[in-house]
Amino acid sequence: MFETLVRSCLHQVSPYHPGKPIGEVQRELGIKKVVKLASNENPLGASPRAVRLIRRLAASSFIYPEGASPLLRQALAKHLGVDVSRVIIGNGSDELIRLLCEAFLDPGDEAVVSRFGFIRFAQHARLMGAKVVEVPMEHWRHDLSAMAGAVTAKTKILFVASPNNPTGTYNTAQEVGMLLNTVPSRVLVVLDEAYYHYARLRPDYPESLKEMAQAHSNLVVMRTFSKAYGLAGVRVGYAVAATELIQWLDRIRMPFNVSLLGQLAAEEALQDAAFVRRSVALVEKEKEKLYPILQKWGLKVTPSAANFLFVESRILGKEVFQRLLYEGVIVRPLDEYGLHHHLRISVGTPQQNRILLRALSKVLGTRF
């Protein structure tokens, strides 16, 4: 009955499949020790400063938060060197993708994405009844010239995640600059930099906020506290854009979209530069250890600028995923992207990665 009752565009929206939760594997398979490397969380946990603050302020949870997260916005504006009116805080950056689609996409409008770009762009856009135009990738990287070329009179938004989830690849400053100079200013260019802290070590990674200062008022930059700050569970992300655009998003934002503890924890985590450095250094070091081993075992690994690896295997990804579950390791198969021979594996602590390698060697029949 509801099939005919729901809005017709819902038929185009496939559900998002998050990483399988640890508790579910423990319940289903009766395995006590489970390592989850499926959601690109921070293997070091949350920023310890943020955790201390949450503990101290947990009793304040009965109070409504301030709706627009003013203190966090101010702290971010100072941190990023932008005016506070250009910052909006979301319930994770996922909410900000939704708000952008709600604010700008009418049925029939077009959103340009890349074929294996972060799937939430297409899902949110389809929910608005927009047409999603998928542009092929080149060597698992966004082909930004082709994406610019796919813009039509109906295009409202062009989405780029860099580094991209699930491929881990990024686009250079030159490529992003070309994109911004090519796309008409009436089209929003959304640059999702959820993995910014991992990628910024690359000398050719763009300084997107500087691009914005150079009069690209159609640029929206999004980042999150879910990765390098380790706060995925409290759900805080942010976007920086032109003041007027932020005002439109603010109009449709839920009145209390970010929790009290989320706002405060993010503000504190922002000051925890030492934790971010440690988190990034760990991922860099562990990636270098993992690459050669996985390659030796016949897996194709795409160089990653993020905190996860994009891995191609001869065996079906779903099968590797299932067999790893029995070894107590959760990774992410990528069938929802139509990638049946790929897996996304988050980089863990040295101990977690050893457990992963031991389990994977069993599944692949290789020696570890």
Ligand X SMILES: Cc1ncc(COP(=O)(O)O)c(C=O)c1O
Only segment of 21-29, 50-58, 91-99, 259-267 that touches ligand X (CB under 6 A) = 91-99
Tokens of 23: 């508790």
Tokens of 286: 């562990």
Q: How many residues bind ligand X (CB under 6 A)?
A: 13
Q: How far is the CB of 153 from ligand X (least distance, A)?
A: 28
- Give dist(CA 147, CA 138) in Å, integer: 11
Q: How far is the CB of 93 from ligand X (least distance, A)?
A: 4
Please select the residue that binds ligand X; options are 42, 69, 93, 171, rule is CB under 6 A.
Answer: 93
Only segment of 48-56, 88-96, 199-207, 323-331 that touches ligand X (CB under 6 A) = 88-96
Only segment of 76-84, 87-95, 211-219, 322-330 that touches ligand X (CB under 6 A) = 87-95
Please select the residue that binds ligand X; options are 92, 262, 333, 348, rule is CB under 6 A.
Answer: 92
Is residue 192 a contact point for ligand X (CB under 6 A)? yes
- Give dist(CA 366, CA 368) in Å, integer: 7
Is residue 228 a contact point for ligand X (CB under 6 A)? no
Scanning residues 145 to 164, which ones bind ligand X (CB under 6 A)? 161
Q: Strand, helix or coil at 237?
A: strand
Is residue 226 a contact point for ligand X (CB under 6 A)? yes
Instruction: Say how far residue 208 (Cα) sits from the centre of its chain.
Output: 16
End-to-end CA separation in angstroms for the chain: 54
CA atoms within 13 A on the CB side of 201: 16
The residue (of 130 and 266) whose beta carbon lies closer to ligand X is: 266
- Give dist(CA 365, CA 356) in Å, integer: 14
Is residue 194 a contact point for ligand X (CB under 6 A)? yes
Q: How far is the CB of 233 from ligand X (least distance, A)?
A: 9
Tokens of 292: 């050669």
CA atoms within 13 A on the CB side of 274: 3
The residue (of 116 and 297) whose beta carbon lies closer to ligand X is: 116
Is residue 307 a contact point for ligand X (CB under 6 A)? no
Q: How far is the CB of 125 from ligand X (least distance, A)?
A: 14
Is residue 118 a contact point for ligand X (CB under 6 A)? yes
Please select the residue that binds ligand X; options are 224, 257, 304, 307, rule is CB under 6 A.
Answer: 224
The residue (of 19 and 67) whose beta carbon lies closer to ligand X is: 19
Q: Judging by beta carbons within 10 Å of its beta carbon (0-12, 13-18, 19+), is residue 261 exposed, middle or buried?
A: buried
Q: How far is the CB of 152 from ligand X (least distance, A)?
A: 25
Instruction: Say how far residue 40 (Cα) sits from the centre of its chain.
Output: 8
CB atoms within 10 A of CB 57: 15
Q: Which residue is nearest to ligand X (CB)?
A: 92
Is residue 171 a contact point for ligand X (CB under 6 A)? no
- Give dist(CA 332, CA 44) in Å, integer: 19
- Give dist(CA 245, CA 156) in Å, integer: 13
- Placement of tokens 């991992």 in the chain: 198
- Bridge partners (DSSP) listed for residue 301: 311
The residue (of 90 and 363) whose beta carbon lies closer to ligand X is: 90
Q: Judging by beta carbons within 10 Å of its beta carbon (0-12, 13-18, 19+), is residue 315 exposed, middle or buried?
A: middle
Binding mask 232-251 for ligand X (x = CB under 6 A): x----x--------------
What is the binding site for ligand X (CB under 6 A)? 40, 92-94, 118, 161, 165, 192, 194, 224, 226, 232, 237
